[in-house]
Each structure stands twice: as C-alpha cells, then as structure tokens.
C-alpha cells in the first residue's frame, strides 16, 4: 500500500501528511488533480461497477466491504512486518 501511495504522491495526485491525532500514522490527501482524476474515472466506471455488483444483496455488499477492508489491513500489516525484517 505504501508503494502505491508514493507513486500517487510522485504523480502529484495526493500529498502525504501527518495525522493530527496519531503521530505514527500518515494521511493521504487528494490534490485537485487527484480529485479530478477520481471524478473522471468515477463517471466512466460507475455504470460498469453498478452492473457488476447489481446482483449482490445489501448484506453481501456489506460483507464484501468488510472483507476487503480486512484484506487491506492484512496487506498493510504484512508490509510493515516484511519491511521490519520480521
């Protein structure tokens, strides 16, 4: 995840800053160029995603979101573990 954020920052689509509540955390903030890119892709991909997931129930969508968040969290933990040599 960190590598992806660094690429986005290099392309000036986000800026990475400190979290005011937790100094150990970093925050990714979309730049105007990043927001514009999201707007462009959202309008192009929205119909595709709507068609792709239209058969899922609300419960299935909620489960999918929960699972994806857990996977992302696990990826972040693994990256931290690997970076630390553990």
With a cut of 70, say whether residue 84 has pLDDT above it.
no
49-67: pLDDT as tens digits: 899 999 999 999 999 999 9
Q: Count of domains in the chain?
A: 2
- Asked if residue 60 and residue 35 are part of one domain, the reply reads no
pLDDT at 3: 84
Q: Does the predicted TM-score (pTM) go above 0.75?
A: no
Same domain, 8 and 23: yes
Give the closest residue to 28 by CA, choosing from 43, 40, 41, 12: 12
Query: What are the two backbone dihedrals, phi and then psi, of residue 26, each rounded to the nearest 5 degrees?
Result: -120, 150
DSSP SS3 for 63: helix
Task: Identify whether residues 77 and 50 lie together within a single domain.
Answer: no
Q: What are the tens digits of pLDDT across the range 7-65?
A: 999 999 999 988 788 777 888 999 999 999 999 999 899 899 899 999 999 999 999 99
- Cβ neighbour number for residue 13 with a 10 Å cutoff: 19
Question: Does 80 lie in the same domain as 38?
Answer: no
């Amino acid at each position: 995840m960190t590598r992806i954020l660094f690429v986005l920052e290099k392309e000036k689509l986000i800026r990475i800053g400190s979290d005011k509540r937790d100094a150990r955390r970093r925050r990714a903030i979309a730049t105007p160029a990043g927001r514009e890119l999201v707007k462009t892709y959202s309008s192009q991909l929205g119909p595709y995603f709507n068609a792709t997931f239209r058969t899922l129930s609300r419960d299935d969508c909620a489960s999918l979101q929960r699972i994806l968040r857990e996977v992302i969290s696990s990826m972040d933990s693994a990256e931290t573990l690997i970076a630390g040599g553990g």
